[in-house]
Amino acid sequence: MSKKNSSKEKKPGALLSPKGMRDILHEDFLSYQGFFEKAAEIALYYGFKPIETPILEKEGVFTSGVGLETDIVGKEMYSFSTKGKDRLALRPEGTAGIMRAYLEHGMHSLPQPVMLYYYGPFFRHEKPQKGRAREFFQFGFETIGAAEPIIDALTIKLTHLILEEVGIKNLTILINSIGDSRCRPNYIRELTAYYRKHINKICAHCRMRLKKNPLRLLDCKEAACKELAEKSPDIMGFLCEDCREHFKEVLEYLEIMQIPYFLKHTLVRGIDYYTRTVFEVVSEQEESSAENTKENTETKNTETKPSRESKEKTSAEPMLSLGGGGRYDHLARALGSRRDIPAVGSAIGVDRVLSAPGYSMPRPRIVKKPKIYFIQIGTGAKLKSFTVIEALRKVRIPLMHSINKDKLSVQLGIAERIGIPYIIILGQKEANENAVIVRNMKTRSQETVPIDKLGDYLKKHV
Ligand SMILES: [Zn+2]
Ligand SMILES: [Zn+2]
């Protein structure tokens, strides 16, 4: 156990972790590890293969891919010049880097679609008062080279399933279609006209967005803007025939799979590369789950709160957003491909999931919790320590030890403190006989076991 934990030892001006970033220790680490293993296993069964891309990318991957006018890239991205004058950025999201890798490695020549999953840290320079971490973890997956709605449905299903499998309750999908490059311009025109009419009511930030990225007005968090967004024109009336048909089929699959969903016309997800399907997976907080009907989604759960305030609290408020994604058919072209490559993906916000109500940690396989503490007494025993550790490794039994310590009392003290159920004692006498004592700490019963039989004995008794 690190002494660093003690807050008494923090001196002013001491070197601590950067603001919004933290160390992941002890049980917390196992919790992350367990989630990643579980999610990866489910993704594998659904046909996805692992990929890992660099944590740093050329800045252009995000400025071209995610979009310069988005909050993620325009305000929150950590970017810098290297000594060699390259412009690099800490990845703020996973999709653009994976599409970059797909193009770089000519994965279009593989059987399509290419299905990839990933997990790891991402970075956004968020305002600390929002209570958000600047380093956060995502588990995501992308299917590249498929335009069919069944792939959108698979993506939503998998996001839903992973969250369900780790115990999250009351899961619902919020879903929308934001059209494509053919039909969206008509909608943008209508939306811009609508907001121009209300230009005095929108926030200063939205007034700027209106010129460059009008879609983003729909997810502004300012109360007045939110109210306007609820009454804004619905894109459904503007979708072209292909987009409408595509969206209809996605919804049909969700119905067949009995995944509950709500249409939410203000859902745009704030990233330029999305086309057609966008979605979020939310967990509804207890008090709102009773009113779970399709009709009241847009103004969900307003009764329980004072009316003036609740009007401002729209659908997103009583829901905890745990993941989401969408289709991004034009991203490949934005990253330099000569043609569009249809694709769809999703990412889960792991930090939020781990602290969400109901989360039950899947036990990680890689990190086993030791049940045995190894004690050695005397020089002869110390020399044989590695023989014992190696005997256990061969039968995959992990142990804890303090082989730098000499005294029995010190080592016993540690065993008591960590509350370990079994100890192995190697004293001078045992070392001479090539044996150890195995003691059950609860019953205090013990037995002498030859080292070459130790593995088998422990597998049977521990
Ligand atoms: Zn606004
Ligand atoms: Zn369209």
Write phi, then psi, for 59 (nearest 5 degrees): -55, -35
**201 within a domain of the structure (yes/no):** no
> Of 269, 203, 196, 194, which is closest to residue 233 (Cα–Cα)?
194
- Last residue in a domain, options 304, 326, 354: 354
Q: What is the pLDDT of residue 184?
A: 93
**231 within a domain of the structure (yes/no):** no
Rg of the chain (C-alpha set):
28
Q: What is the pLDDT of residue 307?
A: 32
Average pLDDT over residues 449-459: 94
- Could you tell me if 450 and 339 lie in one domain? no
- Could you tell me if 145 and 281 lie in one domain? yes
pLDDT in tens, 180-206: 999 999 999 999 999 999 999 999 989
Percent of the chain with pLDDT over 90: 75
Confidence of residue 5 (pLDDT cuts 50, 70, 90): very low
**286 within a domain of the structure (yes/no):** yes
- Could you tell me if 157 and 264 lie in one domain? yes
- Could you tell me if 349 and 381 lie in one domain? no
Query: Which of the ligands is closest to the CA of residue 330?
Result: 2
Query: Which of the ligands is closest to the CA of residue 225?
Result: 1
Helical packing angle, 184-197 and 204-212, nearest 10°: 150
Q: Calculate how far, in angstroms, residue 418's C-alpha sits from the geometric centre of ligand 1.
A: 53
Q: Calculate how far, in angstroms, residue 224's C-alpha sits from the geometric centre of ligand 1.
A: 7
User: Could you list which residues have their CB under 5 Å from ion ligand 1?
Assistant: 203, 206, 220, 222, 225
> Of 450, 344, 395, which is closest to residue 115 (Cα–Cα)?
344
Owning domain of residue 160: 18-183+239-354
pTM over 0.75: yes
- Could you tell me if 110 and 51 lie in one domain? yes
- Number of domains within the chain: 2
Distances in whole angstroms, Cα of residue 32 to Cα of each of 27, 119, 156, 166: 9, 11, 22, 12
**196 within a domain of the structure (yes/no):** no
**291 within a domain of the structure (yes/no):** yes
- Could you tell me if 341 and 406 lie in one domain? no
Looking at the predicted structure, is the pLDDT value of residue 241 above 50? yes
- Could you tell me if 336 and 407 lie in one domain? no
- Last residue in a domain, options 354, 384, 400: 354
Q: What is the pLDDT of residue 9?
A: 62
Average pLDDT over residues 212-226: 90
CATH at 445: 3.40.50.800
C-alpha 374/C-alpha 234 separation (Å) is 67
**8 A C-beta contact, residue 388 and residue 398:** no
- Could you tell me if 66 and 177 lie in one domain? yes
Q: Calculate how far, in angstroms, residue 436's C-alpha sits from the geometric centre of ligand 2.
A: 73
Looking at the predicted structure, is the pLDDT value of residue 231 above 80? yes
> Of 271, 276, 268, which is closest to residue 240 (Cα–Cα)?
276
Q: Calculate how far, in angstroms, residue 138's C-alpha sits from the geometric centre of ligand 2.
A: 30
Looking at the predicted structure, is the pLDDT value of residue 239 above 50? yes
Q: Calculate how far, in angstroms, residue 181's C-alpha sits from the geometric centre of ligand 2.
A: 7
Write phi, then psi, for 423 (nearest 5 degrees): -125, 150
Q: What is the pLDDT of residue 90?
A: 97
- Could you tell me if 59 and 173 lie in one domain? yes
- Could you tell me if 390 and 282 lie in one domain? no
Query: Which of the ligands is closest to the CA of residue 184?
Result: 2
- Last residue in a domain, options 328, 354, 380: 354
Helical packing angle, 149-165 and 241-256, nearest 10°: 40
- Could you tell me if 102 and 139 lie in one domain? yes
Q: What is the pLDDT of residue 221?
A: 87
CATH at 331: 3.30.930.10
**254 within a domain of the structure (yes/no):** yes
**386 within a domain of the structure (yes/no):** yes
Q: Calculate how far, in angstroms, residue 203's C-alpha sits from the geometric centre of ligand 1.
A: 4
Angle formed at CA 447 by CA 443 and CA 451, multiple of 5 degrees: 135
Average pLDDT over residues 363-373: 79
**8 A C-beta contact, residue 232 and residue 194:** yes
Q: What is the pLDDT of residue 212?
A: 85
Q: What is the pLDDT of residue 21?
A: 93
Distances in whole angstroms, Cα of residue 192 to Cα of each of 46, 204, 208, 216, 283: 41, 15, 12, 11, 32
411 alpha carbon, distance to own chain's centre: 40
Q: What is the pLDDT of residue 316?
A: 44
- Could you tell me if 332 and 403 lie in one domain? no
pLDDT in tens, 136-174: 999 999 999 999 999 999 999 999 999 999 999 999 999
38 alpha carbon, distance to own chain's centre: 12
* Token output for 462: 């521990």
* Token output for 355: 């602290």
C-alpha 187/C-alpha 218 separation (Å) is 13
pLDDT in tens, 268-300: 987 878 999 999 999 987 654 444 433 333 433
